[in-house]
């Protein structure tokens, strides 16, 4: 917890002891009224120093990693290739069964998208053209230019 939040907690308590309403304290500190009410209730129960120390410890909780480990990515890609382009649900099943790793299906598809070009289910693969498709009007102009540029037969 940063020093500013500690200062706001102490200041809120001092203003409350001076008789200011909780709404006025919230307006003055730029915090929500419910936050001030919770702080004051906790200070009345625990004491000021204990509450400040507890709120410092609350901010130091370790967060779970959001990134997928490189080894798990390799496992996902290996299962995908081994099982002939299977879906994310099957990959999740094999990951948990073989390696004891639980991973959500959307996260598996994120990892797959790093290596593969994925398409929605139910759509057929389409051949890619060298040029993007042109509207009908453009083809008319191209045809006129080609006819004008080509030599006439003898």
Question: What is the tens place of the pLDDT at every residue in 21-73?
Answer: 999 999 999 999 999 999 999 999 999 999 998 888 776 767 777 888 999 99
Confidence of residue 103 (pLDDT cuts 50, 70, 90): very high
Q: Is residue 84 included in any domain, yes or no?
A: yes
The CA distances from residue 30 to 25, 27, 44, 69, in Å, are: 8, 5, 22, 40
Q: Is residue 15 included in any domain, yes or no?
A: yes
Given a contact cutoff of 8 angstroms between Cβ atoms, the answer to whether 55 and 9 are in contact is: yes
Q: pTM for the whole thing?
A: 0.42
119 pLDDT higher than 70: yes
Confidence of residue 99 (pLDDT cuts 50, 70, 90): very high
Q: Is residue 133 included in any domain, yes or no?
A: no
What's the domain range around 78?
70-114
Given a contact cutoff of 8 angstroms between Cβ atoms, the answer to whether 53 and 9 are in contact is: no
Q: Is residue 14 included in any domain, yes or no?
A: yes
Residue 83's contacts (CB-CB under 8 Å, 6 or more residues apart) are 90, 91, 94
142 pLDDT higher than 60: yes
Mean pLDDT value across the chain: 84
Name the least confident of 1-5, 31-35, 104-108: 1-5
Given a contact cutoff of 8 angstroms between Cβ atoms, the answer to whether 101 and 75 are in contact is: yes
Write down the pLDDT at residue 40. Answer: 95
Q: Is residue 46 included in any domain, yes or no?
A: yes
CB atoms within 10 A of CB 36: 25
- The count of structural domains within the chain is 2
Task: Return the structure tokens found at 63.
Answer: 């967060």
- Do 52 and 9 fall within a single domain? yes
- Do 110 and 86 fall within a single domain? yes
Write down the pLDDT at residue 84. Answer: 85
Token pair 């003898």 is at which residue? 154
Q: Is residue 135 included in any domain, yes or no?
A: no
Alpha helices in the chain (DSSP H): 3-17, 22-29, 33-46, 48-58, 70-82, 88-99, 105-115, 136-149
Distance spanning both ends of the chain, measured CA to CA: 89
Write down the pLDDT at residue 25. Answer: 94
């Amino acid at each position: 917890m940063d020093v500013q939040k500690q200062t706001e907690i102490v200041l809120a308590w001092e203003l409350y002891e001076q008789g200011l309403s909780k709404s006025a304290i919230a307006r003055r500190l730029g915090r929500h009224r419910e936050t001030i009410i919770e702080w004051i209730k906790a200070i009345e129960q625990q004491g000021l120093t204990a509450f400040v120390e507890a709120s410092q410890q609350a901010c130091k909780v370790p967060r779970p990693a959001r990134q997928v480990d490189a080894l798990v990515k390799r496992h996902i890609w290996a299962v995908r290739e081994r099982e002939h382009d299977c879906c994310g649900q099957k990959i999740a099943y094999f990951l948990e069964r073989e390696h004891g790793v639980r991973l959500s299906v959307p996260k598996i598809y994120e990892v797959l998208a790093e290596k593969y070009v994925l398409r929605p289910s139910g759509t057929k693969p389409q051949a890619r053209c060298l040029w993007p498709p042109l509207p009908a009007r453009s083809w008319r102009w191209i045809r006129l230019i080609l006819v004008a540029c080509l030599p006439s037969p003898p």
